[in-house]
Chain A
Amino acid sequence: MIAYLQNIAVLFCINAILALTLNFIMGYAGIFSLAHAIFFGVGAYATAYIAMHASDSLLLCMAASAAISAILSMALALPALRVRGEYFVAASLGLQVIGVTIFSEWKSITGGLGGMIGIPRPKLWGYTFNDDTAFLMLALVVLGIVVGITALLVRGSFGRSLMAIRDSESAAQTYGKHVNAVKTLSVAVAAGLAGVAGSLYAFYISFINVESFVLETSILLMAMVIIGGTGTLFGPIVGAALLMSLPAALTYLPFLPPTELGSIQQIIYGLAMVLLMMFRPGGLVGGRSKEKSA
């Protein structure tokens, strides 16, 4: 029983980190990204490759995952952020599609469609996280750090610049805010931390393949952020918890045919997205107003 709960808890931490980071760019910066799963994946593959071929040091792998994801995101952000919001959506969608193709084809690095198997557990200062409880502690610590970083950035002047840009780019520019630099930096931070989540994922499941990083995953993350509440610090965490428990909760309703559970689950969060946008755009935590400062 304990192991089962630990399993759920670790996956929750990973999803919460992803939702928090996506919220950082969507809710606070107003940048709409459909490619978050790709940054997650890049982090996972980077860690897997390094852990299996070079070193299983926790800090090294995580740092590498964060760095590679961040740099990749800048390649996306720099051109796409020059133009309007819709363009970033399109570009991120493009990145999601191309990313999946690259994950499936670059066999020497990603193992192709077969994925990478046998990723070792990480080592920190001589201690290997073989025990599941220890790994859960690690995941919680990382989650805590991500919450901390997010809170720090959002509540400080960086966060204010971000929200100013979200609300009105031209006004922000008039006030001397370096719009592009701020936007690009926020995308980089979000992507880097998503890469860290990927690193945790790779270490935990010991097997990764492209199936975990497809468009459906990006959509699920978006749903978590929106339902929980954009532009709030705890909204994404609530969203992550809710959407993760949805499949399990549905199994307790006996009148639902089991083969349709996945579809019903998706319909529920699709419906939640529509209804929330109509009546409560701030999400469950945010409330009526979408523009809530944290």
Chain B
Amino acid sequence: MLFTQLFINGLQTGALYALIAAGFSLIFGMTRIFHAAHGATFTIAGYIFYECYSVLHLSWPVAALAATFAASLFGVLLDRYVYAIIQRHEGSFFTVFVASFGMAIIVQNLIAMIFDRGAVTVSTPLSKSLEVMPGLYVAPIAAVVIVCAIIFFVALQWLLTKTNMGIALRALGENPTLIEVYGLTPRLLSQYVFLIGSILVVPAAILTAATSGLNPAMGNHVMLISIAATIVGGVGSLRGAAMAGLILGMAENLCLAFIDPQWSEAVTFVILFLFILFRPGGVYGRAVMS
């Protein structure tokens, strides 16, 4: 029964990780920007939700909307006013990464100043688990997480395959110069990518706020997962990143049946190292040599 319990926990964690990783992979795959501030977007979404729901006592749809607005605004503005400028004159991987990283540091500390460094949680009765079977405790929120993830992925899939916008976005990832030939603007499309990528973290942030709680430094962990999942899943493959996020979440929980909790974070990275060593292309990606 322990194993089943850990499996369910893993599904919940994995679903959240899949959402986070998909957002990052979308941005990285399509704009080639190493958006190290993705964790900051997550933190902002989580805290805005907390502020609206737990502090100002607004209804949760309103709070969720506010969080979505804040997250997407952050992502889009960052692209428009920071990344765009850098890309205009130089745009090397290093410069963009560092700027992004600097942004993440600023956000982390601003949030720490405004909201206090302690952990905050959004209290909801949904997080209290019920004994569905002897020894198996599942909280309603686990179901919410999994359903949410499925809905968002289905929506994303539809967006990318069935809409013109989506097809243009995928083209952006393949060949940015070519789409200019077709009369589209990479800059504008890039902003849409950031919009979508940032929206993807919002449900994950809200649900994390309700389960493990928020703290200003959580962006680091989000980045760890995003990067690891993107590589394990294969750079450029959205499906890969989502799958990898799920795998990493499951691994992190299932390993608790065998080893001490100290090492569960390290498990994520052992998996990452193994992939880098033996299959750098990831599960779905193309093989990449520099």
Contact = CB atoms under 8 A, between A and B. Distances in A.
A144 interface: no
A22 to B, nearest CB: 13
A83 B110 CA distance: 36
B112 interface: yes
Given A87-B280, A90-B227, A263-B110, 9 more contacts: A32-B97, A84-B289, A87-B288, A97-B269, A264-B113, A267-B105, A267-B109, A277-B86, A277-B96
Interface in A74-108: 79-80, 82-87, 89-91, 93-95, 97-98, 101, 104-105
Given A98-B270, A104-B262, A277-B102, A91 B290 contact: no
Contact of B288 (A83, A169, A273): A83
A86 B235 contact: yes
B266 A98 contact: yes
12 contacts: A80-B276, A86-B93, A89-B34, A90-B272, A93-B269, A97-B265, A170-B290, A270-B103, A272-B102, A274-B99, A274-B102, A277-B96
Interface string A244-273: 000000000000000010011011011111
Contact of A270 (B96, B109, B268, B277): B109
B90 A281 contact: yes
A86 B29 CA distance: 12
Contacts of A281: 86, 90, 95
Most buried by B among A90, A105, A263: A90
B126 interface: no
Nearest to B223: A93
Given A90-B272, A219-B105, A267-B106, A277 B227 contact: no
Interface string B5-41: 0000000000000000000000000000010000000
For the side of the interface on B, what is the size category?
35 or more
B280 A83 contact: yes
A219 B101 CA distance: 9
B12 to A, nearest CB: 22
B227 A274 contact: no
B95 A85 contact: no
B272 A83 contact: no
A1 interface: no
A101 B104 contact: no
B58 interface: no
B66 interface: no
Most buried by B among A260, A263, A266, A272: A263
B266 A101 contact: yes
Contacts of A266: 105-106, 108-109
Contacts of B101: 219, 222, 270, 273
A277 B95 contact: yes
A269 B99 CA distance: 11
Interface string A104-123: 11000000000000000000
Contacts of B262: 101, 104-105
A93 B227 contact: yes
A270 B97 CA distance: 12
A54 interface: no
A30 interface: yes
B189 interface: no
B224 interface: yes
A290 interface: yes
Interface in B63-95: 82, 85-86, 90, 92-95
B276 A87 contact: yes
A227 B241 CA distance: 33
A104 B262 CA distance: 9
Nearest to A226: B98
A28 to B, nearest CB: 12
Contact of B269 (A30, A79, A85, A98): A98
A273 B70 CA distance: 23
Most buried by B among A80, A93, A271, A278: A278
A215 interface: yes
A267 B110 contact: yes
A29 B104 CA distance: 25
Given A90-B276, A91-B276, A278 B99 contact: yes
B224 A93 contact: yes
Nearest to A179: B290
Interface in A215-250: 215, 219, 222-223, 226, 230
A84 B82 contact: no
The 5 closest A-B CB pairs, nearest first, are A273-B102, A270-B105, A94-B269, A277-B99, A270-B106
Given A85-B290, A267-B109, A290 B103 contact: no
Contacts of B90: 281, 290
Nearest to A87: B276
B273 A91 contact: yes
A211 B132 CA distance: 42
A95 B97 CA distance: 19
A226 B102 CA distance: 10
B260 to A, nearest CB: 8
A117 B212 CA distance: 35
Contacts of A263: 109-110, 112-113
A93 B220 CA distance: 10
